[in-house]
Amino acid sequence: MAYRVRSASLLLSIIIVLALGACRDPGQGDYLNVSGKIFVFNYRIAQATYVLTLSKVRPLPNDSVLEATFENPAGGDPFIVRQKIWPTMTKVTVESPPVKCVKANREYRVSMRVIDASGQLLQTIERKMISDVDQSVMPDKPLVVGPFYDANPDKGPAAVVCPGT
CATH of the domain at 48: 2.60.40.10
Angle of CA points 72, 75, 78, to nearest 5°: 35
List beta partners, residue 124: 113
Average pLDDT, 10 consecutive residues per value, the chain (165 residues): 53 51 57 97 94 96 97 97 94 97 97 97 97 91 88 74 74
Alpha helix positions (H), 2-108: 2-22
**21 occurs within a structural domain:** no
Residue 12 gets the label, from left (phi > 0), alpha (psi -120 to 50) or beta, of alpha
In a domain, residue 115? The reply is: yes
Q: Is residue 12 part of a domain?
A: no
Whether residue 19 is contained in a domain is answered as: no
Q: Is residue 48 part of a domain?
A: yes
**72: in domain:** yes
Q: Considering the domain boundaries, does residue 117 fall inside one? A: yes
Residue 162 lies in a domain: no
Quick one: CA dihedral 15, 20, 22, 23, positive or negative?
positive
- pLDDT for res 161: 74
pLDDT for residue 23: 43
Number of structural domains (the chain) is 1
pLDDT score at 33: 96
Going from the C-alpha of 68 to that of each of 41, 95, 164, the distances in angstroms are 20, 9, 26
Domain encompassing residue 94:
32-139
This prediction has a pTM of 0.78
